[in-house]
Amino acid sequence: MELNETYIILDGFMDIERYRALYFIIMFTAYVFILCSNCTIVCLIWIHKDLHEPMYLFIAALLLNSVLFTTAFYPKILTDILSEKQVVSYSTCLFQWYIFYSIGGAEFWLLMMMAYDRYMAICKPLQYPTVMNKSKVNVLLAVAWIVPACQVAITITAASHRKLCTFIFRGILCNSTVYKLHCVQSAALHVWGLFVLLNFTFVPLIFNCFTYTRIFIITTKRGPAVRRKALQTCLPHLVVLFNFCWLTTFDVLLARLDTELPKMVRVIMSFQLILYHPLFNPIIYGLKMKKISTHLKRLFCGGKPNKVLK
Residue 199 is predicted with a pLDDT of: 83
Q: What pairing do the DSSP bridges indicate for beta strands 168-169 and 7-10? A: parallel
Per-residue model confidence (pLDDT) at position 106: 92
Domain 3-301: state its class: mainly alpha
The pLDDT tens digits for 55-68 are 999 999 999 998 99
What is the enclosing helix (H) or strand (E) of 81? helix 54-82
pLDDT digits (tens, 9 = 90+) for 247-297: 777 666 666 665 566 777 777 777 777 887 888 888 888 877 888 888 888
DSSP summary character for residue 126: T
Torsion region of 215: left, alpha or beta (phi above 0 gives left; psi -120 to 50 gives alpha): alpha
> What residue type is assigned to position 57 of the chain?
L
pLDDT top residue among 142 and 303: 142
How confident is residue 98, by pLDDT bands cut at 50, 70 and 90? Answer: very high
pLDDT confidence of residue 56? 92
State the pLDDT confidence band at 232, using cuts at 50, 70 and 90: confident
- Residue 309: predicted pLDDT: 40
* Res 176: pLDDT: 80
Handedness of CA 290, 38, 155, 272 (dihedral sign): positive
pLDDT at 5: 60
Average pLDDT, rounded, for the chain? 84
Query: How much is the average pLDDT of 122-126?
Result: 88
- Give pLDDT, residue 38: 93
SS3 (DSSP) at 11: coil
Instruction: State the DSSP string of 168-181.
Output: EESSSS--GGGGGG
Reported as a single tens digit per residue, the pLDDT across 175-196 is: 888 888 888 877 788 788 778 8
Q: Which of 112, 176, 98, 99 is nearest to 143 (CA)?
A: 112
Alpha-carbon distance values, 196 to 202, 233, 258 (Å) = 10, 30, 20
Give the model's pLDDT for residue 104: 86
Res 45 pLDDT > 90: yes
Q: What is the pLDDT of residue 37?
A: 92
Reported in sequence order, the residue ranges of the chain that DSSP labels E, i.e. its strands, are 7-10, 87-89, 168-169
Residue spans of the domains in the chain: they are 3-301
The more confident residue out of 218 and 272 is 218
Return the pLDDT at 308.
44
Mean pLDDT of 88-113: 90
Q: Tell me: the pLDDT tens digits for 1-30? A: 444 468 888 887 777 888 889 889 988 999
Please give the Cα distance from 169 to 177 (Å, whole number). Answer: 8
Q: CA-CA distance, 215 to 49, in Å (whole number)?
A: 27
Flag whether pLDDT at 158 surpasses 50: yes
Asked whether the predicted pLDDT for residue 305 surpasses 80, the reply is no
Contact of 34 with 249, CB cutoff 8 Å? no
The number of beta carbons lying within 10 Å of the beta carbon of residue 281 is 24
Q: What percent of the chain has pLDDT over 70?
A: 91
Residue 80's identity, in one-letter code, is: D
Rounded Cα–Cα distance for residues 63 and 109 (Å):
13
Number of H-type helices and E-type strands within the chain: 11, 3
3-state helix, strand, coil in the chain (%, to 5): 80, 5, 20
Give me the count of residues in the chain.
310
Sheet holding 168-169, edge to edge: 87-89, 7-10, 168-169
